[in-house]
Chains A and B, each alone.
Chain A
Amino acid sequence: MTITSSPDEICTSLTELLDASGVPVDRVEITGAASVGATRSTLFIDIHAGATITAAVAQLAAPRDRQELLGPVDEAAVLRLARAAGAPVPPVLAAIEAAPATGAATAIVGFIGGESIPRRIIRATEEFGTGNDLAADLGTALAHLHSIPIDDLPESIGRVDPADIHSAYSDERAVALDELGEPLPAVRLGVHWLRKNLPTPPSRTAIVHGDLRNGNILVEDGRLTSLLDWEICHAGDPMEDLAWLCMRTWRFGNDDLEVGGFGSLMSLRSAYESAGGEWRDDAFHWWLVARAVWWATGLSRQAGAFLSGEADSIVLAASGRRVVELEYDLLRLIS
């Protein structure tokens, strides 16, 4: 099923949903779109109530669009937990599996301002001299996120055994390579290494954001205002988030600064540990390799979608020529 509702229907739906959730509202106006897709849309809205106008963000998804991605309602549940734990995320105003008028799974959250374009974030931290502060902001935010008791998570987020996470992840990567249909011996070497070098398991599993990096954060005056894009969050090893954040591919050429091309690893780590996070070096290194394997496979899959005619985007075609960067990074890590 896809979202086929008109803008008027969507505004009516959001108004009714907010009203039913106890949020003062006369009408809702769509002011822009962060993304509009067949099965998912993220819209900027203004909530009008008397003389008050409140900016917010609405996310709509066709019911059960893609099972592997978190739906808006579960995402809202995670945002509530993250906010209560002290992580910088917007307040949830309303969330429902089937909204009135549209039938779409819908969540409405408060608007948080900030820059999300990676190179502009790097420039802003240079201008304000806040690169290490921003890395520390992220360390603190992740420690707070990872402190959430796993039992509090929505049931749709599968639980995992801490002792099993790494071998299961290695097996999944091997299956994904088998399904790719494109030989990638360098990435196979990565999977082989992952299986031979399993790290110490975490003392407990945590909620892992899964895609926290320069590009999925909001920054204002060089400091963190919000964590974005929770679609692939899952229960797992918290070190996965810290490694992904530090991968070279998210430094945008500013390779000396491990965290997003703007901050030092030391700043990230000490803030994470000061806020109660448990840092494991072997797992950090393991996840650098593991997520390089994952992203090399993902980029190759994007190119495959272009080659098969499933998608005609030149950006997806170009992804095929970026696989080699991840191959190089992971070979360096395992050499």
Chain B
Amino acid sequence: MIDRPNAQELLAAMAATLTNDVMPALDGGPRHSARVVANLCGILAREWEARGEVPVAELRALLGHEAGTEGPDYADLVAELDRRLSSSGPETDELAIAALPIVMADVEQRLAVDKPGYSQP
């Protein structure tokens, strides 16, 4: 009732095949492409497992929306934050200061998927 290998196991096998079997037989651009695809397999495997909650509640609070289940979704909140940070003036300065830790936490979470080990203590 449970397919094995599962998605992560398959992605790991795909990455290993590209790295161990395919890449040594290639040079130049094709070899680089194989390396990139192997790396993307790793990203997908981590995304499958590790991608945490997106900071919807934090962004709603930051942007002054009421808490609750109704309201703009994550993509809309990110777009609104982007738009409001692109203006200037004291309100934007305050928003930038308040946004920094929320944006940093989100970046660190995405980094754990896209490039584990990159964030520094």
Nearest CB in chain A: distance from B35 CB, A: 10
Q: How far is the CA of A17 from the CA of B88 in the complex (A)?
A: 54
Q: How far is the CA of A196 from the CA of B86 in the complex (A)?
A: 13
In the complex, chain B residues whose CB is within 8 Å of the CB of A193: 96
Contact with B82, one of A185, A325, A328 (Cβ below 8 angstroms): A185
Assess whether A332 is in contact with B37, with CB atoms less than 8 Å apart: no
Hey, what's the 0/1 contact readout for A322-335 against B, CB within 8 Å counting as 1? 10110110011011
Assess whether B86 is in contact with A188, with CB atoms less than 8 Å apart: yes
A315 beta carbon closer than 8 Å to chain B: yes
Q: How far is the CA of A208 from the CA of B118 in the complex (A)?
A: 30
Which one, B5-13, B64-72, B105-113, is touching chain A?
Answer: B105-113
In the complex, chain A residues whose CB is within 8 Å of the CB of B100: 189, 331, 334-335
Assess whether B36 is in contact with A325, with CB atoms less than 8 Å apart: no
Q: How far is the CA of A327 from the CA of B111 in the complex (A)?
A: 10
A84 beta carbon closer than 8 Å to chain B: no
In the complex, chain B residues whose CB is within 8 Å of the CB of A184: 82
Nearest CB in chain B: distance from A164 CB, A: 18
Assess whether A322 is in contact with B37, with CB atoms less than 8 Å apart: no
Assess whether A328 is in contact with B103, with CB atoms less than 8 Å apart: no
Contact with B103, one of A189, A191, A318, A332 (Cβ below 8 angstroms): A189
Assess whether A315 is in contact with B36, with CB atoms less than 8 Å apart: yes
Hey, what's the 0/1 contact readout for B26-53 against A, CB within 8 Å counting as 1? 0000001100110110010000000000
Contact with B36, one of A185, A192, A318 (Cβ below 8 angstroms): A318
In the complex, chain B residues whose CB is within 8 Å of the CB of A196: 93
Assess whether A318 is in contact with B40, with CB atoms less than 8 Å apart: yes
Q: How far is the CA of A183 from the CA of B88 in the complex (A)?
A: 17
A82 beta carbon closer than 8 Å to chain B: no
Assess whether B108 is in contact with A328, with CB atoms less than 8 Å apart: yes
Contact with B118, one of A185, A192, A314, A325 (Cβ below 8 angstroms): A325
Q: How far is the CA of A328 from the CA of B37 in the complex (A)?
A: 23
Known interface pairs A314-B36, A314-B40, A331-B100; A185-B85 also in contact (CB < 8 Å): yes
Q: Is the interface of B mostly helix, strand, loop or mixed?
A: helix
Nearest CB in chain B: distance from A167 CB, A: 12
Assess whether B36 is in contact with A324, with CB atoms less than 8 Å apart: no
In the complex, chain A residues whose CB is within 8 Å of the CB of B86: 174, 177-178, 188, 191
B119 beta carbon closer than 8 Å to chain A: yes
Assess whether B81 is in contact with A185, with CB atoms less than 8 Å apart: yes
Nearest to A187 among chain B residues (CB) is B82
Assess whether B92 is in contact with A192, with CB atoms less than 8 Å apart: yes
Interface range for A: 20 to 34
Assess whether B39 is in contact with A325, with CB atoms less than 8 Å apart: no
Known interface pairs A315-B36, A321-B114, A324-B114; A195-B103 also in contact (CB < 8 Å): no
A101 beta carbon closer than 8 Å to chain B: no
Contacting A at CB under 8 A, from B49-95, are 78-79, 81-83, 85-86, 88, 92-93
In the complex, chain A residues whose CB is within 8 Å of the CB of B99: 185, 189
Assess whether B110 is in contact with A183, with CB atoms less than 8 Å apart: no
In the complex, chain B residues whose CB is within 8 Å of the CB of A185: 78, 81-82, 85, 99, 103
Nearest CB in chain A: distance from B82 CB, A: 3
Nearest CB in chain B: distance from A326 CB, A: 10
Hey, what's the 0/1 contact readout for A306-326 against B, CB within 8 Å counting as 1? 000000011101100110110
A275 beta carbon closer than 8 Å to chain B: no
In the complex, chain B residues whose CB is within 8 Å of the CB of A195: 88
Nearest CB in chain A: distance from B66 CB, A: 21
Nearest CB in chain A: distance from B45 CB, A: 13
Nearest CB in chain A: distance from B78 CB, A: 5
Nearest to B109 among chain A residues (CB) is A324
Contact with B33, one of A192, A315, A324, A327 (Cβ below 8 angstroms): A315
Assess whether A192 is in contact with B114, with CB atoms less than 8 Å apart: no
Contact with A186, one of B36, B40, B103, B120 (Cβ below 8 angstroms): B103
In the complex, chain A residues whose CB is within 8 Å of the CB of B107: 186, 324, 327-328, 331
Q: How far is the CA of A113 from the CA of B83 in the complex (A)?
A: 49
What are 14 of the A-B contact pairs (CB < 8 Å)?
A178-B86, A185-B78, A188-B81, A188-B85, A188-B86, A189-B103, A193-B96, A196-B93, A314-B33, A321-B40, A321-B43, A325-B111, A327-B107, A335-B100
| 3 smallest beta-carbon distances between A and B, as pairs | A183-B82, A188-B85, A185-B81
